[in-house]
Amino acid sequence: MYDSAKGWPDYRKARRCHCGSRETRRKLENCSISLIFPHAQEIAWQDSNKTDAFLGGDSVTQKTHIRASKIHKWLALFIGAQLLLWFASGVIMSVVPIETVRSEHLVAREPEQLNSLVGLVTPENLGREISGNVVSLRYRSVLGRPVAELENGRGETFLYDAKTGIKRSQITSKEAGLITSRAWITGRPNIAAVEKVVTGSTEYRGALPAWRVDTEDDVSVYIPLSTGEIAAVRSTTWRVYDFFWGLHIMDWKNHENFNSWWLVIFALGGLTMALSGLLLIIKRWPFRRSRKGRNLHTTHA
């Protein structure tokens, strides 16, 4: 196919190369290149055969490649939105300090401690009328008055006047407001309302009944009637954090179940999507390298 008289390839013969055998267009191009660069013919054909073997429709490698691609695509469509929510909620929960979420900069939740136990009623003289065994006893202060807190085996809590040994009545709404004001770290809160809570919610899951002291800054302080201690503080920051926490663990109702089936299914789906994507990278990487090498050999032959 070379014209010996002129010293260059006869392109008319090159155009007729393999046309009668109906070869693929890629092999026709390789054939034309081989006429111009005769030493690259063998390399080009070898690379072409390797590519055909890699892309063979009946090969196990190609079937695995196609299956992994489909799995990766459909999983991305199915769990892509939840992955976005995981990332977004994770960023928010990482950026906001947990101390700010708990409003530790607003309210001191530690109970008031007694300076001395002198003159207080001894444990033997407390809780005689309580049904069941007393499992814990603690002396502390409520609004500057020493009290003894007893808990029985059923988890019930009772307050006694630590000076007289007389059983104390439950905390009133007025006392709940005073407890909130004394626990406020900076200044005094502007209390908007004090309401009695008898059922649990996503915002409060502590002892019931309890007083909810609401301030004008949308901060809610929960104080059980039986203890007079601050059990929970809920602010706007906490509510936003809890909303994204519910999205993160996929417990949209109660925001507390970290082992829901939804979370397990989507977590396994995300893992499968990541593994299928890794498989696609592994399967495609040799092909890209082979194609790059083929182009390099064709250029420098």
Count structural domains, the chain: 2
Look at residue 224 and tell me if it is in a domain.
yes
Among 172, 201, 234, give the residue marking a domain's end. Answer: 234
pLDDT of 287 over the 90 cut: no
Task: Identify which has the larger pLDDT, 75 or 296.
Answer: 75
Closest CA to 120 of 166, 162, 168: 162
Please answer whether residues 44 and 293 qualify as being in contact, where contact means their C-beta atoms are separated by less than 8 angstroms: no
- DSSP for 61-130? HHHHHHHHHHHHHHHHHHHHHHHHHHHHHHHHHHHS-HHHHTTTTTB--SPBPPS--TTPPPGGGS-TT-
State mean pLDDT over 116-133: 79
**How do residues 3-23 score in pLDDT, each as one tens digit?**
545 454 444 444 444 444 555
Look at residue 49 and tell me if it is in a domain.
no
pLDDT of 298 over the 60 cut: no
Look at residue 47 and tell me if it is in a domain.
no
Quick one: 26 and 111 in the same domain?
no
Quick one: 108 and 8 in the same domain?
no
Please answer whether residues 242 and 255 qualify as being in contact, where contact means their C-beta atoms are separated by less than 8 angstroms: yes
Look at residue 45 and tell me if it is in a domain.
no
Q: How confident is the prediction for the chain on average, in pLDDT? A: 78
Which amino acid would we find at residue 196? K
State mean pLDDT over 83-107: 92
Quick one: 109 and 10 in the same domain?
no
Residue 211, helix vs strand vs coil? strand
Quick one: 113 and 217 in the same domain?
yes
**Structural Rg of the chain based on CA atoms:** 38
156: left (phi over 0), alpha (psi -120 to 50) or beta: beta
How much is the pLDDT for 295? 55
How much is the pLDDT for 8? 47
Look at residue 77 and tell me if it is in a domain.
no
State mean pLDDT over 215-238: 96
Among 213, 234, 255, give the residue marking a domain's end. Answer: 234
Q: Among the ranges 27-36, 53-62, 141-150, 213-222, which has the highest mean pLDDT value?
A: 213-222
- Around Cβ 162, how many Cβ atoms within 10 Å? 23
How much is the pLDDT for 39? 46
- Around Cβ 22, how many Cβ atoms within 10 Å? 7
pLDDT of 214 over the 60 cut: yes
Look at residue 290 and tell me if it is in a domain.
no
Among 210, 234, 258, give the residue marking a domain's end. Answer: 234
**How do residues 178-205 score in pLDDT, each as one tens digit?**
999 999 998 899 999 999 999 999 999 9
Q: Sort 4 into a burial class: Cβ within 10 Å, 0-12 / 13-18 / 19+.
A: exposed
Q: What is the DSSP letter of 205?
A: -
Q: What is the DSSP letter of 58?
A: T
DSSP3 helix / strand / coil % (the chain, rounded to 5) = 45, 15, 35
Quick one: 125 and 207 in the same domain?
yes
Q: Report pTM.
A: 0.67
Q: How far apart are CA 38 and CA 206, in angstroms?
A: 85
Range of the domain at 4: 1-36
Residue ranges with strand state E in 143-231:
145-152, 157-161, 191-197, 210-215, 220-224
Task: Identify which has the larger pLDDT, 31 or 197.
Answer: 197
Look at residue 215 and tell me if it is in a domain.
yes
How much is the pLDDT for 30? 52
Look at residue 265 and tell me if it is in a domain.
no
**How do residues 68-79 score in pLDDT, each as one tens digit?**
777 777 777 777
Quick one: 219 and 122 in the same domain?
yes
